[in-house]
């Protein structure tokens, strides 16, 4: 009876397929997260610059990438560039698209954090006689980073979930493998429930790790 509702045996027999999909999902997630975290920082400094030639492109980047669907950006990188003769591998295109859009989101998170959180402390540091870059390094950035743990964590979770979109440019990650498995069997329900659990475990791991870090950090606030 239990087997009728949820065929554990089927899932168990096909675990290697899930592992392989999970491996690709992890790879795409980690690369996209790293790209977004670092790229976002670069763009955030552009957004905060007083130099127009840094500010303007950074702003255009953020506005364009935040206001178009990431799936379309992915198609653009994969199919669009191929038409122009630049053939990216599906994984590269997928990682670039996810990192690219999330860098735009993270840049805004960083900027808001740095500008609002550090304003007063920055002035205090300047009033003590620190030069700007030193005040940023010793005071503003450390404060901003610790206060931004939660919103950054949320964005990383979004990245993990959005990796499922790269299945649409035929990357064989978790969602894609699951879809293929479901199509050639009758265990649709089992397959997608299992996939959901995998994603849940991944996102929870990131959330928990960050919450743990935040707790430690908050002890000093």
**C-alpha distances in Å from residue 146, one per residue of 63, 125, 177:** 26, 18, 38
Stretch near other proteins under the rule CB under 8 A, chosen from 16-24, 108-116, 132-140, 201-209: 132-140
- The position carrying tokens 């953020």 is 62
Separation of alpha carbons 105 and 43, rounded Å:
10
One residue of 26, 30, 54, 130 binding other proteins per CB under 8 A: 130
Buried b (16+ CB within 10 A) or exposed e, 159-177: bbebbbbbbebebbbbbbb
One residue of 12, 53, 85, 120 binding other proteins per CB under 8 A: 120
Least distance in angstroms from the C-beta of 46 to other proteins: 21
Stretch near other proteins under the rule CB under 8 A, chosen from 49-57, 105-113, 140-148, 179-187: 140-148
Task: Establish if 125 lies at the interface with other proteins (CB under 8 A).
Answer: yes
Least distance in angstroms from the C-beta of 120 to other proteins: 4
Least distance in angstroms from the C-beta of 58 to other proteins: 23
Q: Contact, 166 vs 28, CB < 8 A?
A: yes
Within 30-157, strands assigned E span none
Kindly state the tokens that stand for 59: 């702003």
Least distance in angstroms from the C-beta of 114 to other proteins: 14
One residue of 20, 59, 121, 207 binding other proteins per CB under 8 A: 121
Kindly state the tokens that stand for 36: 């977004």
Separation of alpha carbons 36 and 99, rounded Å:
4
CB nearer other proteins, residue 43 or residue 125: 125
Task: Establish if 150 lies at the interface with other proteins (CB under 8 A).
Answer: no
Task: Establish if 134 lies at the interface with other proteins (CB under 8 A).
Answer: yes
Sequence-distant contacts of 206-210: CB under 8 A, at least 24 apart: 206/153, 206/156, 206/157, 206/160, 207/153, 207/157, 210/149, 210/150, 210/152, 210/153, 210/156
Task: Establish if 129 lies at the interface with other proteins (CB under 8 A).
Answer: yes
One residue of 42, 143, 149, 206 binding other proteins per CB under 8 A: 143
Stretch near other proteins under the rule CB under 8 A, chosen from 21-29, 47-55, 138-146, 174-182: 138-146
For other proteins, the binding residues (CB under 8 A) are 120-121, 123-132, 134, 138-139, 142-143, 146, 220-221
């Amino acid at each position: 009876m239990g087997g009728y509702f949820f065929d554990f045996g089927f899932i168990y027999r096909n675990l290697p397929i899930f592992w392989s999909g999970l491996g690709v999902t992890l790879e795409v997630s980690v690369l996209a997260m790293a790209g977004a975290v670092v790229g976002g920082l670069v763009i955030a400094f552009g957004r905060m610059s007083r130099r127009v030639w840094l500010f303007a492109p950074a702003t255009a980047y953020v506005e364009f990438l935040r206001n178009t669907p990431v799936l379309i950006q992915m198609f653009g990188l994969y199919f669009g560039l191929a038409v122009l003769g630049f053939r990216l591998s599906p994984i590269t295109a997928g990682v670039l698209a996810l990192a690219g859009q999330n860098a735009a989101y993270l840049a805004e998170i960083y900027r808001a954090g740095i500008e609002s959180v550090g304003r007063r402390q920055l002035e205090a540091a300047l009033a003590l006689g620190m030069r700007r870059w030193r005040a940023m390094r010793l005071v503003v950035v450390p404060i901003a980073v610790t206060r931004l743990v939660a919103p950054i964590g949320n964005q990383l979770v979004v990245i993990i979930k959005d990796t499922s979109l790269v299945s649409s440019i035929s990357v064989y990650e978790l969602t894609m493998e699951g879809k293929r498995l479901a199509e050639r069997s009758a265990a649709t329900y089992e397959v997608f429930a299992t996939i959901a659990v995998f994603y849940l475990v991944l996102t929870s791991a990131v959330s928990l790790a960050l919450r743990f870090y935040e707790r430690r950090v908050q002890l000093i606030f």
